[in-house]
Amino acid sequence: MTIQRRQLMLLGAAAALPTLARAQATLPIEQPKFFYGFPAGSAGDICARRVAERIGGTPYAKNAAVVENKPGAGGRLALDALKTSAPDGSALTMAQASALSIYPHIYRKLSYDPFTDFMPISTSSVMQHGLAVGPMVPESVKSVRDFVAWAKANPDKANFGSPGAGSTPHFIGALLALNANVDMKHVPYRGSVPGVTDVVAGQIAAMVTPAGDFLQNHRAGKLRLLATTGKTRLPFATDVPTFAEQGQPELTVEEWFGFYAPARTPPAVIAAANAAINRALADRAVIDGLGVVGLIAQGSTPEEQLRSQRAEYERWEPLVKRIGFTADS
């Protein structure tokens, strides 16, 4: 069965639920719970909380949602929690695209099927990733080319961190190393915050992670943001050129966060949650709050999110094979 057919079946399955099953979901929900698979304080966590704060008083929810952080395993723990939750809209997960489009290619025994265990609701924001260096790397390193040259000349120090093995930032760094023919040790962290802290402290040379998690330290001069992965420069750091501008067009990556519900969640619940999330994302305070951490607020329909998920799944399959990474490696 093709992925597209499986996805269409998933979206249509809820419509065929018997009346009794649909009656189990009562709207509006008293207080929904949002799972997020990384530590508090990161850009994605802030996005989940901004939406959660404005979800109450809608046909979907009476009160603001509660965000429950489940850091570890590159965000998989939050999806595992969602998989076993009741399909009534009381629990959603905000996940990064890679957890649904890249992980199936690297985990032989992934604990969930991204196309049958969950139902997309809406994207929430779009992020660019960035490459930044800290005090371990000389001040003379001001570009990607400079960093590659430094890494080749200092193989004992050449490393980069990411918010988790198998994450999109991990693969951006791995592709940079492959394209530049340089060995760089990968240092996985449990989220962005501890890795950025180590870059600033000079414990590791570089970090690839959502660019928003670098902005405060970049502006304070505590690290140097060398490149971002967008099609155009990040609106919040227009002084930083993209990878494409620096001769690395393959590293053009704009990743989204999106909300998901358990499979078999009734269509009325999906529709209500989608409307509430998109309403929150249209709030100027939310838009501005996400901008502070480098995120661009962006909602969608469930169908649009599903198409994007499928496109990312297909894009990354050959790249993962080229990198040669598996969860067992």
pLDDT digits (tens, 9 = 90+) for 100-125: 999 999 998 899 999 999 999 999 99
User: 7 and 112, same structural domain?
Assistant: yes
**Residue after which a domain boundary falls, among 251, 286, 313:** 251
Verify that 40 and 61 share a domain, yes or no: yes
**68 in a structural domain:** yes
When divided into structural domains, the chain yields a total of 2
Specify if 328 maps to a domain.
no
Q: Both 112 and 261 in a single domain?
A: yes
Residue 281 has pLDDT above 50, yes or no: yes
156 inside domain: yes
User: Are 152 and 301 members of one domain?
Assistant: no
Mean pLDDT score of the chain, rounded to an integer?
A: 92
pLDDT tens digits for 56-97? 999 999 999 999 999 888 899 999 999 999 999 999 999 999
Average pLDDT value for residue range 140-148: 98
Residues 266 and 25: beta-carbon distance below 8 Å: yes
114 with 261, same domain: the answer is yes
Instruction: Give the closest residue to 94 by CA, choosing from 55, 125, 127.
Output: 125
Please tell me whether residues 137 and 247 are part of one structural domain.
yes
Q: Note whether 221 and 303 are same-domain residues.
A: no
Digit-coded pLDDT (tens) for 208-264: 999 999 999 999 999 999 999 999 999 989 999 999 999 999 999 999 999 999 999
Q: What CATH number did the domain enclosing 192 receive?
A: 3.40.190.10
Q: Which residue has the higher pLDDT, 8 or 144?
A: 144
The answer to whether residue 285 sits within a structural domain is yes
End-of-domain residue from the set 251, 280, 296: 251
**What is the predicted pLDDT for the residue at 329?**
54
251, 267, 285 - which closes a domain: 251
The string of DSSP letters for 211-240 reads GGGTHHHHHTTSSEEEEE-SSS--TT-TTS
| Residues comprising the chain, all counted | 329
DSSP string covering 89-110? SSEEEEEETHHHHTHHHH-TT-
> What single-letter DSSP state applies at residue 75?
G
- The pLDDT assigned to 68 comes to 98
Instruction: Name the token pair of 190.
Output: 């449990």
Calpha distance 227→136 (Å, rounded)? 18
Q: What is the pTM for the complete model shown?
A: 0.83
109 with 48, same domain? yes
Q: Taking Cα atoms as reference points, which of 66, 94, 21 lies closest to residue 261?
A: 94
Tell me if 301 is assigned to some domain. yes
Provide the domain limits for residue 150. Answer: 128-251
> Is there a single domain that holds both residue 202 and residue 304?
no
Q: Is residue 329 part of a domain?
A: no
Residue 10 belongs to some domain of the structure: yes
pLDDT band at 132 (very low <50, low <70, confident <90, very high): very high
**Could you report how far apart the first and last alpha carbons of the chain are, in Å?**
29
Q: How confident is the model at residue 16 (pLDDT cuts 50, 70, 90)?
A: very low
Determine contact, residues 41/254, Cβ cutoff 8 Å.
no
Q: What is the DSSP letter of 111?
A: S
User: Is 143 domain-assigned?
Assistant: yes
Whether residue 122 is found in the same domain as residue 139: no
Check which CATH number belongs to the domain holding 278 and give it.
3.40.190.150
Asked whether residue 245 falls in the same domain as residue 132, the answer is yes
| Tokens describing residue 234 | 């990040």
Q: Are residues 260 and 216 in the same domain?
A: no
